[in-house]
A and B are shown apart, each in its own frame.
Chain A
Amino acid sequence: MVPTMSTLDATFSALADPTRRAILSRLAQGEATVMELAEPFKLSQPAISQHLKVLESAGLIARRIEGTKRPRRLAQAGVEAIDVWLAMLREALAKNYDRLDEVLAEMKPEKGKER
């Protein structure tokens, strides 16, 4: 499927949340039930379900039915766990370097005033 602009938007906003990135990272290791997902994250099941709903609408995860359980897995066309990690790294670095820009701007006067 060729992603359209609106599915891309949904993907990006789904990925913008650190909890959802962590859920994707967990699912990259294999299928998991809502309960299994909620446990390590110390979140309530409704909170996890809400995040799963967002991820599902964005086409990042899929579910199947197994009795009363609805185990989730990464959707075939979804992101790789490494992309989630790289997105986190990119955000952290981008923030840092924006701050570094300001630090460098403040350092300039120390070197003696030009003009």
Chain B
Amino acid sequence: MNNTMNKMTLKTEGDRYVVVTRRFAAPPEAVYRAHTEPKLIQKWLLGPDGWTMPVCISDAKPGGKIRYEWTNGKGGGFHLTGKYSELEPYSRIVHVERMHLPDPTPDNHVETKFEPDGAGTLMTLRMTLPNAEVRAAMLATGMEHGMEASYARLEQMI
């Protein structure tokens, strides 16, 4: 079992952004593809255990549409829509996204960078930090959709 917790960092940048870094044991091309090809995205971009993404539209070109639909198989579900604005294979993706809970959350502007790191990749994700109201809505929705306490333990996160 690999200790992936040590590989990920997450911190706020001022009160407007969240910056996440993560190392992967695969070259930037593979990590970039896994972020843009629907068949690959559907395998991992799922959140808590038990959720699947039956619908995944990812038209990876500037102006291309993004739509992800998630379901927990128990009647719970929500979706995300967005648009790509910049794509630099295999180093950088800029897109905007919003969740529909069902009301759309404010636009989340996301920049994802992939840099070679030895034989692997260092990914840096920079996203908009939602305001307090949106954060509360996201937490409440997570619960309403019955996310059970199958989460990773918090002590590993600090």
What are the interface flags for A78-101 relative to B under an 8 Å C-beta threshold, 1 for contact and 0 otherwise? 000110111111111111111111
Contact B143 A18 (CB under 8 A): yes
Q: What range describes how many residues of B lie at the interface? A: 35 or more
Q: Which residue of A lies closest to B154 (CB)?
A: A12
Query: CB of A36 within 8 A of chain B?
Result: no
User: Do A18 and B10 form a contact, CB below 8 Å, given A94-B5, A99-B43?
Assistant: no
- Which chain B positions have C-beta within 8 A of A85? 130, 135, 138-139
* Closest chain A residue to B149, Cβ basis: A17
A8 to B155 CA separation, bound complex (whole angstroms): 9
Complexed CA–CA distance, A103 and B40 (Å): 7
The reply to whether the CB of A45 lies closer than 8 angstroms to some CB of chain B is: no
How many residues does chain A have at the interface if contact means C-beta atoms less than 8 Å apart? 44
Q: With an 8 A cutoff between CB atoms, is A29 at the interface?
A: yes
Q: CA separation between A105 and B152, bound complex, in Å?
A: 22
Query: Taking A41-B143, A100-B34, A107-B30 as contacts, is the C-beta distance between A16 and B151 under 8 angstroms?
Result: yes
CB distance from B154 to the nearest CB of A (A): 4
The answer to whether the Cβ of B33 comes within 8 Å of any Cβ in the partner chain is yes
Instruction: Give the distance to chain A from B35, nearest Cβ to Cβ, in Å.
Output: 9
**Closest CB in chain B relative to A15 CB, distance in Å:** 5
When chains A and B are docked, how far (Å) is the Cα of A22 from the Cα of B139? 5
Contact of A87 among B5, B44, B154 (CB under 8 A): B154
Contact of A104 among B5, B10, B34 (CB under 8 A): B34
For residue B34, which residues in chain A have a CB less than 8 angstroms away from its CB?
Answer: 100, 103-104, 107
User: In the bound complex, do residue A82 and residue B135 qualify as a contact, i.e. CB atoms below 8 Å apart?
Assistant: yes
Known interface pairs A12-B155, A104-B34, A107-B26; A22-B140 also in contact (CB < 8 Å): yes
9 contacts between A and B (CB under 8 A): A21-B139, A28-B136, A81-B132, A91-B154, A93-B8, A95-B152, A104-B24, A104-B26, A107-B33
